[in-house]
Amino acid sequence: MDSRYALVAEGLSKSFNGLKAVDDLSLRVEAGEIYGFLGPNGAGKTTTIKMLLGLAAPDAGTIRIEGRDLAREPHAIKRRIGYLPERVAFYPNLTAIQTLKFFADLKGHSNADLKALLASVGLAEFADKKVGTFSKGMVQLLGFAQASVGDPAILLLDEPTTGLDPNWARTVKDRVLEANRRGATVFFSSHILSEVQELAKRVAILNRGKLVAQDTVANLRMAVQSKPQLRLVTGAQTQAALERLKAFAGLESVRVEGPEIVVVCDAEARSKVIADLAGAGILVQNLRTVDPSLEEVFLRYTESSRGAVR
């Protein structure tokens, strides 16, 4: 087994009532990387995560965690994993600190650092408050703290910032980066593509249960031939600029979005566009270049998704 990989899945398949949720899926997650797992609703992401955790048995395929076969050594492997489910639920009559103690005992870890763990997610002052009084966002933060008990080697996070305001979402992202700096491998799914682009070294895109892409964001952009956008503001001359650019050879597309003209073209055409407008007496008041986003890449790979299963 190659020690470079913290998680290897080969040929995973899973069906429910004859409907295939995951279809011959293979993944390789490098040790110490942050790996984003994407797909439209119903693509099979949660089913995959449950199989990686041993919570659902695959109909076919194998899973190895840090070189160990999950089917043969489930208990030893699970002690190495921290898991945050998509829908977090705790006993409402327990306090935050009692909740973490409960999970620390289940994992066989010391309770010594639990208050510091609550403080790291901004819940120090609520340590002795019952979880039943917590907001949805506070429960989510407690869920992340629970997943982090014992500094697990692997974090499996299913929609980790769901229900969080921007400040709390930043807290979770900072803790993800901190855990990764300590050496943890992070595997997370999210519908917030900017978040994945910010955190992940590599991403996988699942569509209708099948893996349709697995690479760095930069390489996926190249694969779908996504081009940067040149966004121009020409004020009162917008219509004249638009008509001129529509007649300009070599541009992939030209459109207006609010006060901006959006030009999609190769990098070498940008300066020619600016020079052409200036030569026609059209003043460019502002301009910026926007690189292709992960959202564009995602849509290109999943645009045919219909009727998938969760």
DSSP string, 191-258: S-HHHHHHH-SEEEEEETTEEEEEE-HHHHHHHTT---EEEEE-GGGHHHHHHHHHT-TT-SEEEEET
Q: Domain spanning 227-291 has what CATH number?
A: 3.30.70.100
- Tell me: pLDDT of 268 over 80: no
Burial class (CB in 10 A: 0-12, 13-18, 19+), 190: buried
Residue 163 pLDDT class (50, 70, 90 cuts):
confident
The residues near 295 (Cβ < 8 Å, ≥ 6 apart) are: 193, 194
The residues near 183 (Cβ < 8 Å, ≥ 6 apart) are: 32, 153
pLDDT, one tens digit per residue, over 172-185 is 999 999 999 999 99
Q: Which CATH superfamily is domain 5-80+153-222 in?
A: P-loop containing nucleotide triphosphate hydrolases (3.40.50.300)
Residue 306 pLDDT class (50, 70, 90 cuts):
very low
Beta bridge partners of 206: 211
Ordered by start, the domain boundaries in the chain are 5-80+153-222, 227-291
Distance from first CA to last CA of the chain, Å, rounded?
Answer: 31
**Ramachandran region of residue 150, left (φ > 0), alpha (ψ -120 to 50) or beta?**
left
> How far apart are alpha carbons 241 and 209 in whole angstroms?
45
Q: Which residue has the higher pLDDT, 57 or 112?
A: 57
pTM of structure: 0.78
* Cβ atoms 130, 95 nearer than 8 A: yes
- List, edge to edge, every strand of the sheet that includes 68-69: 19-30, 5-16, 60-65, 68-69
Give, for 188, the enclosing helix (H) or strand (E).
strand 185-189
**Which 3 state secondary structure label does DSSP give 105?**
helix
- Tell me: pLDDT of 284 over 50: yes
